[in-house]
C-alpha cells in the first residue's frame, strides 16, 4: 500500500484506552500515604499499603504544589538536596507515586487528606457538574457554594488521628484556614497559619516535637504558580525550585528524634505551546461543541457533559476529532479502567459529577475555552492528565535518629 500523509490526517490512529497509565490506587498513590503513616502510629481502621515505609512515632508530610517527579530529575543543579534523596543518589530511597486522576490540586489534596481515591471522596476534577443543580462546581475555588460536608462526607485522616490521641497539626498559609477544601480534606487537630515558607518549616518542626506521637502536614504553593505563569523550565520556576530545595533542607535539619519526613506533591506539570495545533479552543470549535451541555475539568483533563440523549454522539465525535492526541473514554469506560479508583468502587453520589465523556491528554496539547475560561486558557504550564510528567509525584524520605 502506498503511504499517504493525507490519509493519516483524515483517519488518525486512535490511542488505545488500555494503554493509558492508570494511577496505582491501593499500592502507590497519594491516597495511600497518610493511611500508611497513621497505621504505623497505631490509629485503628487503617492499613499500611505503602509497605516499604517504616513506621515512625512522628510523621511529617511536606506537600509542594506542582513538584513532579520528572521535574526534580530534570533539574539536579537547582535542587541538590531533593536530588540527594532520589534512589540514584547514595543513601536516597525516594520513589515516585501516582497522584490520581485528574492530576490536579483539589482532587489530590482530597485524596491525601481522606485517604480515599476520587471515585470515593467525590472531587474528581477541577470543575465538575453538580448533579443537584446542573451547574459546574469549581472544587478549588468552591464556586458556586455548596455544603462542604454534603459534597465530601467522609472524615479526614487527620480527624481520625487526632481522635486517636496523635498530636495533629496543619501548618500552611493563613489564607487556607477556613476554606471549604481545607474543611473537607485537611482539617483535624490544629491549623496554624504562617506567611513565609521559612516560618512554616520552623513551626512544623516545633509541632512535631510537641507530641510523643505526632502528625504534621505543611504546604507550599508558589512553585505551582510560577509553573502556570511562566512554564516549568523558566527562570522563575527554577528560582522557586531552588527556594523549595532550601526549605526542605531547613525542615530536615530540625527534625526531632523518631521522626520521618515525607516530601511529596499533588501533580507535575507540562508546558503547552501557544499555537492552534497545541491549544484547541472549544469555544471556537463547533464540532466539539455539538451536543455538549457543559464543559468541565481543565485543559488536559476534560469532563464533557452531553445534552441528554446525545452521549453516544458526543463520544464518537470527540474520539474522531481528538482520539489520536487524547485518551477519550465514556464515563463507564473510565471507571472500569480504574482512572478514578478501583473498578466497581464508585460512590453513587459521585457518578453524575464525572463527565459522560472524559478526555485525558496524551500529547502536549490542551482543550482551552477562550471565552468561558480566559484565565485558565492563558496559562503556560498545565496539568491534569495521565502522563508520567503529570501523574508521577515524589515520595522522598528523611529520617531523624
pLDDT digits (tens, 9 = 90+) for 252-304: 999 999 999 999 999 999 999 999 999 999 999 999 999 999 999 999 999 99
Distance CA(47)–CA(45), nearest Å, equals 7
CATH class in words for 30-270+387-399: alpha beta
Q: Enumerate residues 6+ apart whose C-beta is below 8 A from 65.
A: 105, 219, 220, 221, 222, 223, 224, 265, 266
Segment 114-131, tens digit of pLDDT: 999 999 999 999 999 999
Q: Could you give the maximum distance between any two Cα atoms of the chain, in Å?
A: 73
**How far apart, in whole angstroms, are the C-alpha atoms of residue 383 and residue 168?**
31
Length of the chain (residues)? 401
Scored b (16 or more CB within 10 A) or e, 124-149 reads bbbbbbeeeeeebbebbebeeebebe
Q: How confident is the prediction along the chain (401 residues), in pLDDT tens digits per residue?
A: 333 333 344 456 899 999 999 999 999 999 999 999 999 999 999 999 999 999 999 999 999 999 999 999 999 999 999 999 999 877 778 999 999 999 999 999 999 999 999 999 999 999 999 999 999 999 999 999 999 999 999 999 999 999 999 999 999 999 999 999 999 999 999 999 999 999 999 999 999 999 999 999 999 999 999 999 999 989 999 999 999 999 999 999 999 999 999 999 999 999 999 999 999 999 999 999 999 999 999 999 999 999 999 999 999 999 999 999 999 999 999 999 999 999 999 999 999 999 999 999 999 999 999 999 999 999 999 999 999 999 999 999 999 98
Q: Are strands 270-271 and 292-295 parallel, antiparallel or unpaired?
A: unpaired
CATH class of the domain whose range is 272-382: alpha beta
3-state class percentages of the chain: helix first, strand second, coil last, to nearest 5:
35, 20, 45
What cell numbers appear for 277 in the block?
495545533
12: three-class secondary structure by DSSP:
coil
- Nearest 10 degrees: Cα torsion 57, 397, 184, 159: 0
Whole-number pLDDT of residue 11: 56
pLDDT score recorded for residue 175: 96
CATH 3.30.1360.180 in the chain, residue ranges: 272-382
Angle of helix 222-230 relative to helix 235-252, nearest 10 degrees? Answer: 170
Predicted model pTM: 0.95
Q: Where in the chain is the domain with CATH 3.40.720.10?
A: 30-270+387-399
C-alpha cell at 143: 464556586
Amino acid at each position: 500500500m502506498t503511504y499517504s500523509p493525507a490519509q493519516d490526517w483524515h483517519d488518525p490512529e486512535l490511542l488505545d484506552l488500555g494503554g493509558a497509565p492508570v494511577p496505582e490506587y491501593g499500592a502507590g498513590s497519594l491516597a495511600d500515604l497518610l493511611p500508611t503513616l497513621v497505621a504505623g502510629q497505631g490509629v485503628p481502621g487503617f492499613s499500611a499499603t505503602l509497605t516499604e515505609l517504616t513506621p515512625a512515632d512522628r510523621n511529617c508530610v511536606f506537600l509542594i504544589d506542582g513538584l513532579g517527579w520528572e521535574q526534580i530529575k530534570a533539574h539536579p543543579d537547582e535542587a541538590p538536596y531533593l536530588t540527594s534523596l532520589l534512589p540514584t543518589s547514595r543513601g536516597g530511597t525516594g520513589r515516585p507515586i501516582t497522584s490520581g486522576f485528574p492530576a490536579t490540586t483539589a482532587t489530590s489534596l482530597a485524596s491525601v487528606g481522606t485517604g480515599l481515591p476520587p471515585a470515593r471522596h467525590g472531587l474528581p476534577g477541577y470543575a465538575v457538574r453538580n448533579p443537584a443543580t446542573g451547574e459546574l462546581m469549581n472544587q478549588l475555588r468552591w464556586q458556586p457554594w455548596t455544603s462542604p460536608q454534603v459534597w465530601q462526607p467522609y472524615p479526614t485522616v487527620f480527624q481520625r488521628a487526632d481522635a486517636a490521641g496523635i498530636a495533629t497539626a496543619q501548618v500552611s498559609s493563613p489564607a487556607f484556614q477556613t476554606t471549604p477544601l481545607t474543611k473537607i480534606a485537611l482539617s483535624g487537630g490544629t491549623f496554624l497559619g504562617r506567611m513565609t515558607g521559612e516560618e512554616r518549616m520552623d513551626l512544623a518542626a516545633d509541632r512535631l516535637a510537641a507530641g510523643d506521637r505526632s502528625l504534621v502536614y505543611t504546604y507550599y504553593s508558589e512553585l505551582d504558580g510560577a509553573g502556570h505563569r511562566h512554564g516549568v523550565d523558566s527562570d522563575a520556576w527554577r528560582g522557586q525550585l531552588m527556594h523549595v530545595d532550601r526549605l526542605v533542607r531547613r525542615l530536615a535539619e530540625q527534625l526531632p528524634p523518631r521522626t520521618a519526613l515525607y516530601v511529596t506533591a499533588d501533580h507535575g506539570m507540562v508546558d503547552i505551546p501557544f499555537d492552534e495545533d497545541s491549544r484547541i479552543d472549544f469555544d471556537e470549535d463547533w464540532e466539539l461543541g455539538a451536543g455538549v451541555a457543559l464543559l468541565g475539568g481543565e485543559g488536559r483533563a476534560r469532563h464533557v457533559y452531553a445534552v441528554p440523549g446525545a452521549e453516544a454522539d458526543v463520544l464518537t465525535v470527540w474520539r474522531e476529532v481528538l482520539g489520536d492526541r487524547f485518551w477519550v473514554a465514556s464515563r463507564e469506560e473510565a471507571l472500569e479502567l480504574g482512572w478514578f479508583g478501583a473498578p466497581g468502587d464508585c460512590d453513587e453520589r459521585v457518578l453524575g459529577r464525572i463527565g459522560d465523556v472524559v478526555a485525558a491528554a496524551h500529547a502536549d496539547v490542551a482543550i482551552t475555552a477562550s471565552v468561558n475560561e480566559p484565565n485558565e486558557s492563558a496559562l503556560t504550564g498545565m496539568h491534569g492528565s495521565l502522563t508520567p510528567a503529570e501523574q508521577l509525584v515524589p515520595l522522598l524520605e528523611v529520617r531523624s535518629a
